[in-house]
Structure 1
Amino acid sequence: MTQTKVLISGAGVAGAALAHFLHRDGFDVTVVERAPSLRDSGYAVDFRGDAFDVLAEMGILDEIREYDTKMRGTALLDTSGAEVGQLPAEVFAGELEVPKPQLTRTLHRLTEPNIPYVFDDSITALTQHPDRITVEFERGAPRDVDLVVGADGLFSKVRRLAFGPHQECLHHLGMSGVGFTADNILNLAHSGVLQQGNNTAVYAFSAADTTRMSVSLSFATDAPTLDRRPRNEQEHAVRHTFTGHGWVVPHLLDAMSAADDFYFSSSAQVHLDSWSSGRVVLVGDGGYCAAPTAGMGTSQALIGARSLARHLTTSDGDHASAFAAYESELRPYIKANQQTGREGAAAFGARTE
Structure 2
Amino acid sequence: METSRTTPHPTDVLISGAGIAGPALALWLRRAGFTPLVVERARAPRPGGQSVDLRGAARTVVERMGLMPRCRALAVEQRGIALVDTLGRHSARMPVELFGGEGIVSEIEILRGDLAAVLYEASVAEGVEYLFDDTVTALEEDQGGVAVRFENAPARRFALVVGADGPHSTVRRLAFGPDTDHYRPIGGCHAWFTVHDPDLARELDHWFLMYNAPGGLVAGARPGRLPGEVKAGLALRESPAHLPTGRAGKAAQQRLLAERFTGAGWHTGRLVEGMLRSQDFAFDTFGQVRLPHYTRGRIALLGDAGYSPSPLTGLGTSLALVGAYLLAGELATTRGDFTLAYRRYEEQMRPYATQAQQLPPGGINGYAPRSALAIRLRATSMRWMDRWPLRPLLAAQFTKADAITLPHYPLPTHT
The bucket for the TM-score relative to the shorter chain is over 0.9
Contact 1:125–1:137 (Cα < 8 Å) also in 2: yes
The yes-or-no answer on 1:68 pairing with 2:68 is no
Stretches of structure 1 that go unaligned for 5 or more consecutive residues are none
Alignment correspondent of 1:24: 31
TM normalised by structure 1 equals 0.93
Secondary structure of 1:185 counterpart: helix
Is the CA contact 1:284–1:300 (under 8 Å) kept in the aligned structure 2?
A: yes
Q: Any residues of structure 2 matched to 1:202-241 within 5 Å, and which?
A: 202-223=219-240, 225-228=243-246, 229-241=248-260
Q: Which residue of 2 aligns with 1:94?
A: 106
Q: Partners in 1 of 2:266 and 2:60 — Cα distance?
A: 43
8 Å CA contact retained: 1:178, 1:265: yes
Give the letter aligned to residue 346 of structure 1: N
Q: Map Cα deviations across residues 298-352 of structure 1 (whole Å, 9 max, x no partner).
A: 111110000011111122432122111111101111111111368553321178x
Q: Select which of 18, 31, 55 maps to 1:11.
A: 18
Contact 1:294 1:342 in 2 (8 A): no
1:32-181 matched pairs, under 5 angstroms: 32-89=39-96, 90-113=102-125, 114-181=127-194
| SS state at 2:240 partner | coil
What does residue 199 of structure 2 align with?
185
Q: TM-score, normalised by structure 2?
A: 0.80
Q: How far 1:244 sits from its partner (Å)?
A: 3.1
Aligned residues: CA RMSD:
1.9
Secondary structure of 1:112's aligned partner? helix
Contact 2:77 2:223 in 1 (8 A): no
Task: Give the partner amino acid of 2:145.
Answer: R
Of stretches 35-44 and 10-19 in structure 1, the one that deviates more from structure 2 is: 35-44
- Is it true that 1:296 corresponds to 2:315 in the alignment? yes
Is the 2:146–2:159 contact (alpha carbons within 8 Å) kept by the matching residues of 1?
yes
Gaps of at least 5 residues in structure 2 are 1-8, 97-101, 371-415
Q: Aligned pair 1:201/2:218, yes or no?
A: yes
Q: Distance in 2 between matches of 1:235 and 1:342?
A: 30
Runs of 4+ in 1 over 6 A off after TM superposition: none
Alpha-carbon shift at residue 79 of structure 1 (Å): 3.1
Secondary structure class of the residue paired with 1:269: strand
Q: Given the alignment, which residue of 268, 274, 283 partners 2:293? A: 274
Higher mean C-alpha deviation, range 202-211 or range 299-308: 202-211
Judge conservation of contact 1:76–1:193 (CA < 8 Å) in 2. Answer: yes
CA contact 2:213–2:264 (8 Å) conserved in 1: no
The amino acid that maps onto 1:26 is: G
3-state SS of 1:81 partner: coil
Q: Return the alpha-carbon distance in structure 2 between the equivalents of residues 145 and 261 of structure 1.
A: 33
The answer as to whether partners of 1:189 and 1:210 remain within 8 angstroms in 2 is no
CA contact (8 A) 1:48 1:296 kept: no
CA distance in 2, matches of 1:239, 1:153: 26
Shift of 1:155: 1.2
Note the alpha carbon deviations across 1:168-221, whole angstroms, 9 max, x for none.
111111121222222143322321211113211111111312412111111101
Query: Per the alignment, do residues 341 and 125 of structure 1 end up closer, same or farther by CA in structure 2, a change over 3 Å counting?
Result: farther
CA distance in 2, matches of 1:42, 1:177: 12
1:108-151 deviations in Å (ceiling 9; x for gaps): 22111311111111111000101211111111111111100001
Secondary structure of the structure 1 residue equivalent to 2:131: strand
1:41/1:81 CA distance change after superposition, 3 Å:
closer
Q: Which moved more, 1:63-72 or 1:256-265?
A: 256-265
- % of aligned pairs identical? 37
The aligned length equals 350
Report deviation, 1:88: 2.4
Correspondence for 1:310: 329
